[in-house]
Structure 1
Amino acid sequence: MSENAANNNKDQLDMADLASNLPAAAAALSPEDRAGLVNALKNKLQNLAGQHSDILESLSPNVRKRVDALRDLQSQHDELEAKFFEERAALEAKYQKLYEPLYSKRYEIVNGVVEVEGVTNETAKEGGQEQAPEEKGVPNFWLTAMKCHEVLADEITERDEGALKYLKDIKWARIDNPKGFKLEFFFDTNPYFKNTVLTKTYHMIDEDE
C-alpha cells in the first residue's frame, strides 16, 4: 500500500466508535433520542470529511507525522477499551450469578414464603378478643420501592398502583443476540389482567443504524 493510500485510510472518520464516545449527558438520553443524536452527528461529520482532509493536507510533513503518531495511540486506546468492555461483561455475568441467591431470598421474605429470625406468629389479643393475624411478608413492597425511586415515582399513575400491589417479583436477564436485556414482572392473580408474567425487552441500538 502506498503512503498516500495509507494516509487516506487514516483520514477516514471512524463512525463505528461514535456512540461510545458520546459524553455522559448524551448517555442519559432515551434510546430513541440517543439514536437520533448519533445519526445527526454522523451526518455532520460526514459533511466535514472533505474539510478534515484539507486541514491535514495543509500541515507540514513533520506535523502530519505527529498527528499520525497520535492516531496510532488512539488505536491502541480503542483496543484496550474493547478488552475492558469484554472483561466488564464477564465480570457482570459472574456477579449476576452471585446475586441470584440473594434475590431468591428477597422473594421469599417479601412474599411470606419464609419468616425471618425474631418474628413471632402469636395472634395478638386486645380486650379479650383475638385480632386478625398479621399479614405475611412485606405488603406492597414493589409498589413502595417504585414510588420511592426518583425516576419511576412520577411515572406511576393511580391505576398503576392498583396493579402494582399484586407485583411479587422483578427479574433481570441479559440478552446477547441482539444485545440488550429483559425485565420480567411476576404478578399474583389480580383483577387487572390475566397474565401472571409481563416481559419488557430492551435492545441496544447499533451505531450504524
Structure 2
Amino acid sequence: MGGDKENLDLSDLNASLPAAAAALSAEDRAGLVNALKDKLQSLAGQHTDVLEALSPNVRKRVEYLREIQGQHDEIELKFFEERAALEAKYQKLYEPLYTKRYNIVNGVVEVDGGNDEPASENAAEFKDADAKGVPDFWLTAMKTNEVLSEEIQERDEPALKYLKDIKWARIDDPKGFKLDFFFDTNPFFKNSVLTKTYHMVDEDEPILEKAIGTEIEWYPGKNLTQKILKKKPKKGSKNAKPITKTEVCESFFNFFSPPQVPDDDEDIDEDTADELQGQMEHDYDIGTTIRDKIIPHAVSWFTGEAVQAEDFDDMEDDEEDDEDDDEDEEEEEEDEDEDEDDEEEKSKPKKKANRSTFSTSYHRRAGHKEVLINQQIASSSRTVVVHSAT
C-alpha cells in the first residue's frame, strides 16, 4: 500500500481543497497547492497507515469497497450531466418571468388592475408615490441577505440604487458561470454592465480555477473602493500643500477585484496560503449567494419573506442540535450512574468472574476498537481523495 503516497498528484490536491479554493490561474494555483502539499501529504500518510494496520483479509475488503465507490462515482457523473441538462431546460422557462420582473421593477410596464383599495388622501406623503417601477429593488434585496449585507457599505448604496438587473448564465469553455450586473447611467462609473466570471476546474464539486471581474471605469473622485486621506503639512514646512494618501477601503465593488496570488511562489507561506484560501472561499460564497438565492427569489428578499424562511430553517436546525445535546447529557448521566454502580461493586466482596461477564466486556472493548478503526478510515477518505482500485 506504500504506492498510495505516489498517487497524491496535483489533481488529488485540487480535489482535497474545500469548495472555492481557487480564483487562480493554473500557474498561480501551483503556489497555493505547494504551500498546502506538506499538510495533505501527512494526511495521506495517515490514510496509508490505517490501511496498513488492517489484516490482509480486511484490507482486501476495503479495496473492494473502493472499487464499489468507483462504480458509484461513474453513476454520479451521469447524474451531474443529466442535472445540468435539466437545469438548462428550466432556466429557459424562468427567463420570460425574469423579463417580466425586469420590466416591472424598472417601470417599463405598469401592472394592470393595481390595488383595489381606495387611494389614500395622504398618498403624497409616501416618498415613492411618483416613482416609476420599484425603487431600490436590488439594493434592498441584497441588503436583506446576511452574507451580502456585510459587503455593502453605506457609501456603496447611492451607486447600487442604479442597479437595474442581475442575471447569471453557465459558460462552457471553460466550464463555470458568470454574473452580470446591469446599471443605469450613473455618476460613479462608465460601465453599463459589471461582470464576475468563475472558471471551474470541476463544475459539480465545485473547484475553481480562477475568478475574473470587470475593471470598473470610475469617474474622477468617485472610486468607492478607495479612500483619499489628506494630511496637513507640519508647521514651518516649506511645502504648504496638504499631503494626499490613497487607501483601499471596504466596498461591495471589491467583489469585481477577486483575490490574487503573488507572482512569486516563494512569497506564499502556509499562513498566507490559508488566508488566501479563506478570501477565495468567501468570494465564491458571495457569488453563489447571488446566483442561487438573490436572482431566483429577489422579491422575497425585497419583502423580507426569504429571511423569515431562513430563520425558520435555522430554528429547526437549532432544535435538532438541542435534541442531540439532550441525548448527550442523558448518556453522560447514564455513564455516571454506571460508574457509581461500579464503585459499589468494588466495595463488595469479590466473586469469581463468570465466563459470560468476561465475554461481554471483551466484546465491548473489541467492538470499540473496531469502531475507532472504521472512523479513522472514514476520516481519511473524506480528507484525501485516493484513486479507485482497479
Q: What is the TM-score with the length of structure 2 in the denominator?
A: 0.41
- Matching of residues 21-100 of structure 1 within 5 Å: 26-27=18-19, 31=22, 42-47=37-42, 56=51, 59-100=54-95
Superposed CA deviations along residues 65-103 of structure 1, whole A, max 9, x for unmatched, are: 212211111111211221222222222211111111111
Consecutive unaligned residues in structure 1, runs of 5 or more: none
What letter is aligned with 1:65? K
- The 1:79/1:125 distance shift into structure 2, 3 A limit, reads closer
User: What is the alpha-carbon root mean square deviation over aligned residues?
Assistant: 3.9
Structure with larger RCO (C-alpha < 8 A, sep 6+): 2
Deviation at 1:196, TM superposition (A): 1.2
- Could you tell me how far apart the structure 1 residues matched to 2:108 and 2:76 are? 45
| C-alpha contact (below 8 Å) 2:182/2:193 kept by paired residues | yes
Q: Report the counterpart of residue 146 of structure 2 in structure 1.
A: 150
- Could you tell me how far apart the structure 2 residues matched to 1:185 and 1:12 are? 43
SS of residue matched to 1:182? strand
Deviation at 1:167, TM superposition (A): 0.9
Correspondence 1:107 to 2:81: no
SS of residue matched to 1:186? strand
- Could you tell me how far apart the structure 2 residues matched to 1:148 and 1:52 are? 44
What letter is aligned with 1:150? E
- Could you tell me how far apart the structure 1 residues matched to 2:179 and 2:146 are? 19
- Could you tell me how far apart the structure 1 residues matched to 2:79 and 2:13 are? 17
- Could you tell me how far apart the structure 2 residues matched to 1:198 and 1:162 are? 16
Larger mean Cα displacement after TM superposition, 106-115 or 13-22: 13-22
| C-alpha contact (below 8 Å) 1:175/1:181 kept by paired residues | yes
- Could you tell me how far apart the structure 1 residues matched to 2:175 and 2:69 are? 26
What letter is aligned with 1:166? Y
Consecutive unaligned residues in structure 2, runs of 5 or more: 24-28, 123-127, 210-390
Q: What is the TM-score with the length of structure 1 in the denominator?
A: 0.72
- Could you tell me how far apart the structure 2 residues matched to 1:96 and 1:195 are? 27
Specify which of 169, 173, 183 is matched with residue 165 of structure 2: 169
| C-alpha contact (below 8 Å) 1:15/1:42 kept by paired residues | no
Correspondence 1:189 to 2:185: yes
What letter is aligned with 1:160? D
Q: Report the counterpart of residue 135 of structure 1 in structure 2.
A: 131
What letter is aligned with 1:99? Y
What letter is aligned with 2:105? V
What letter is aligned with 2:110? E
- Could you tell me how far apart the structure 2 residues matched to 1:9 and 1:208 are? 25
SS of residue matched to 2:146? coil
Larger mean Cα displacement after TM superposition, 102-111 or 191-200: 191-200
| C-alpha contact (below 8 Å) 2:21/2:208 kept by paired residues | no
Which protein shows a greater Rg? 2
- Could you tell me how far apart the structure 2 residues matched to 1:191 and 1:208 are? 34
Superposed CA deviations along residues 10-66 of structure 1, whole A, max 9, x for unmatched, are: 9945874665577xxx44x6646xx89976665434346567556655644423321
What letter is aligned with 1:196? S
- Could you tell me how far apart the structure 2 residues matched to 1:176 and 1:11 are? 32
Superposed CA deviations along residues 130-182 of structure 1, whole A, max 9, x for unmatched, are: xx972221011111111111111121122211111111111111112222211
- Could you tell me how far apart the structure 2 residues matched to 1:48 and 1:126 are? 71
Specify which of 104, 112, 125 is matched with residue 117 of structure 1: 112
- Could you tell me how far apart the structure 2 residues matched to 1:95 and 1:152 are? 26
- Could you tell me how far apart the structure 2 residues matched to 1:196 and 1:90 are? 31
| C-alpha contact (below 8 Å) 1:169/1:186 kept by paired residues | yes
